[in-house]
Amino acid sequence: MYGRSSGGGGELDESALTAAHKTLRCGSRARVTNKANGQSVRVRINDRGPFEEGRVIDLTPAAAKAIGMTGLARVSVMPE
C-alpha cells in the first residue's frame, strides 16, 4: 500500500514485484511458483511477514497477478 513503510525501509509499492517473508533477508530475491499452474515470478523481499498462521509469503498484487493468483494459493518459495 502506498504511504506505508516496509521492513526494508522503503515505501510499499503494490505495483512492484516484491514480497514479505518471515526468514528471508530484506533485499534478497526469491522465485515463487504457483503450484496450480506452474507459473513463477522472481520477487525481492522487502518486508517481514506474513503474520497469519499457515501463510509463508505475502506477495504484492502485481506479483500475485504475474503468477495467476487471485486470493490464497499454494506456492513454493525458492531463495535465489
pLDDT at 77: 98
Instruction: Give the separation between CA 18 and CA 8, rounded to whole angstroms.
Output: 11
Instruction: Give the separation between CA 57 and CA 77, rounded to whole angstroms.
Output: 8
Residues 6+ apart with CB under 8 A from 38: none
pLDDT digits (tens, 9 = 90+) for 7-40: 555 667 889 999 999 999 999 999 999 999 999 9
Show the domains of the chain with their CATH numbers: 18-79 (2.40.40.10)
The structure's pTM equals 0.86
What b/e string do you get for 54-73 counting C-beta neighbours within 10 Å, with b at 16 or more?
A: eeebbbbeebbebbebeeee
pLDDT surpassing 50 at residue 51: yes
pLDDT surpassing 50 at residue 78: yes
| H or E stretch at 61 | helix 61-66
